[in-house]
Structure 1
């Protein structure tokens, strides 16, 4: 499979300011594969150390901070060759190895000639603990589920991916491209972007194996919940996780604790929810009171929405059958368009540095699905999974904040077009949002 993060890794390799790398991402998103593939393509050799499989390697980091001794011991113990500048050293499953993470400081300061990449599941959890951490001595990178563009390449549709990348004007997409892209997007909603289910579908066209792969990933995540240091939090994490489809099935998708359990209070469940956010299994999107900068100053911390890391996992968790993708628009509109909204959020998170927000007011009721910050512009975003695309809330938002709104964006099943200051982006082009918005604003 082709993963676009390989280009970012190449920039890291060639950077004169390169530091040891920490690659973050949820379990089974493809961290190990990407690092090994990167080593295979761009280095003479790769030295791979898995601290889950070989726990005894941890000792080398506990007895000394001398990086040359650590390298010597790792080479002797594993029989692998390590050469400065020519070898990619991969430290995998480092989430339970604070000494290994801490050693990155000494590699950065005393041995910058070694190219080191660390990976591990639940690294977000490990890094949020107050243990000794090499602040300023590492580079971070995030790997997310495969985008729709990556799915197209894996599915043998590189021509469609190339076509999307080649678009440089806001004009309608010809039917010869529009129709197949629309059909492929339904398939993506079914598989999601986790590499194993994508592989089961794109290589074998095996729906049962793809379903099983998604169930296996969900099962692995649910087993991870037990790794919370406070045993009493485990059932709470599980209850929040299982409530997500119900939360998103509501007309107003604001997270409500009583959907988790009758009588549940925020203070009882806050830690459990934060664990899921730190693990990056869910995205937490705050309500913004106004489209002004800095964005965080206008957050209403009591109101937020929760989305899953991947649209395919959401479909599986909601027990929606894959057959839905053969039934017209049903997959896009099913449970109040929650899959569509989750998919759009998933792509926005990877394109914009500042996490999206949403905006709403209650009397009279209006809601803008997302607010994104692009450079210093705030852009309201609406997601439409129905063919009815009138945007009362986008219009109201413009009325209330005329000075702040240069452009409004709508994702829908309609074709690519600019209608006044409303840019309509077809759902299958959500990956390209940043680029398309750039075309309009530059003009």
Structure 2
């Protein structure tokens, strides 16, 4: 399966400023596979060391900081070959051996001829500890679930991807492309972007196996909850995790601790929630007071929404059956469009550096689903999953911040269109948001 992150890995390989790489991402998102595939394609050989499978390797990092001696010991113990510049050295499950993380400083300073890439489960947890990694001595990269575009390629729909990538103006998509893209997107809402789930559908065309793959991933995540250093946090993490689908089904999607458990208070559950965020299982989107820069300066830290890392996992966790796929637009409208919002957020996070926010006011109630920062502009984004695409909230936002709104963006099941300052993007084009905003601003 084709993953676009390979292009970023190749840039890392060719950079004269290359440092040891830490690849972050949630469990089972394909970190190990992509590193091995990268090594297979672009290096003469790969040397792979797993510190969970081979606990004895950890000892080599305890006795010395000399990276040449460390590598020599690893080579002798494993029978693998490491040649400077020609071998990709992969350290996997490095969260099991903090000394490996610390050693990256010495690989950077004393042995830059070795190409070292690292991965691990729950790395976000390990790296959240202040002394975990040498600041400024490593490169970071994130791998997310497969995008809808990557799903299309895996599904054999390269022609649709080619068509979308060639679009150079904001005009309606012909039915010959619109209709199949709409149908494929419904299937993506069912499978999500976790590689194992995508594989079970695109290669096996087996819904039961795809359902089982998603359940296995969820079960693995829930077993990980027990790895919190304080056992008392385990039930709290579980309660918060399982409450997300019901919280997203509300009209007001702001996360409320009491909805997870009667009487729950923020201060009792903050550590549990932070664990889920650090583990990259959930995305935390703060409420913003205004479209200003820096975007973080306007955060209301008491109000936020939680989304899952992947739309397919959200559907599976919500126990929504794949049969909804065949029921018209039901999949998009299910629990107040939460699947569509989760999907759009995934696409936006892959394109814009700043984490999106949302905007809301009370009395009367208005809410704009997301605010995104593109260069030095903030754009309001609304996600519509049903036929009614009228947006009082986008209008209200423009009234309040008229001088700051160059363009309003609406994702819906309608066709691509620029209507004055309102850009309607079909949901299946969410991966192209950045490009389409650029085209709209240029021609608007």
Is the Cα contact below 8 Å between 2:23 and 2:141 reproduced in 1? yes
1:204 alignment partner, SS class: coil
Is the Cα contact below 8 Å between 1:359 and 1:370 reproduced in 2? yes
Structure 2 counterpart of 1:93: 93
What's the offset of the Cα at 1:97?
1.3
What's the offset of the Cα at 1:442?
3.4
Written as runs of structure 1 = structure 2, the 5 A alignment for 1:55-70 is 55-70=55-70
In 2, Cα distance between equivalents of 1:259 and 1:239: 10
Structure 2 counterpart of 1:326: 326
What's the offset of the Cα at 1:271?
0.5
Written as runs of structure 1 = structure 2, the 5 A alignment for 1:213-252 is 213-252=213-252
What's the offset of the Cα at 1:178?
0.2
What's the offset of the Cα at 1:409?
0.4
Written as runs of structure 1 = structure 2, the 5 A alignment for 1:126-145 is 126-145=126-145
Structure 2 counterpart of 1:10: 10
Is the Cα contact below 8 Å between 1:257 and 1:264 reproduced in 2? yes
In 1, Cα distance between equivalents of 2:97 and 2:351: 31
Structure 1 counterpart of 2:404: 404
1:282 and 2:275 matched: no
In 1, Cα distance between equivalents of 2:380 and 2:131: 39
What's the offset of the Cα at 1:96?
2.2
TM-score, normalised to structure 1, is: 0.99
1:313 alignment partner, SS class: helix
1:76 and 2:85 matched: no
Structure 1 counterpart of 2:109: 109
1:351 alignment partner, SS class: coil
Instruction: Could you list the structure 1 runs, at least 4 aligned residues long, displaced by more than 3 angstroms after superposition.
Output: none
What's the offset of the Cα at 1:132?
4.3
2:196 alignment partner, SS class: helix
Structure 2 counterpart of 1:308: 308
1:403 alignment partner, SS class: helix
1:367 alignment partner, SS class: strand
In 1, Cα distance between equivalents of 2:410 and 2:262: 36
Is the Cα contact below 8 Å between 1:96 and 1:126 reproduced in 2? no
Is the Cα contact below 8 Å between 2:46 and 2:89 reproduced in 1? yes
Is the Cα contact below 8 Å between 1:98 and 1:131 reproduced in 2? no
1:64 alignment partner, SS class: coil
Q: Per-residue CA shift, 1:26-73, capped at 9, x if unaligned?
A: 000000000000000000000000100001111111110001101111
What's the offset of the Cα at 1:130?
2.2
User: Structure 1 residues 350, 76: closer, same or farther in 2, change over 3 A?
Assistant: same
In 2, Cα distance between equivalents of 1:416 and 1:59: 58
Structure 2 counterpart of 1:269: 269
Structure 2 counterpart of 1:211: 211
Q: Per-residue CA shift, 1:217-243, capped at 9, x if unaligned?
A: 000000000000001000000000000
Is the Cα contact below 8 Å between 2:126 and 2:132 reproduced in 1? no
1:194 and 2:194 matched: yes
TM-score, normalised to structure 2, is: 0.99
What's the offset of the Cα at 1:164?
1.0
2:152 alignment partner, SS class: helix
1:430 and 2:427 matched: no
In 2, Cα distance between equivalents of 1:280 and 1:404: 32
What's the offset of the Cα at 1:359?
0.2
Structure 2 counterpart of 1:339: 339
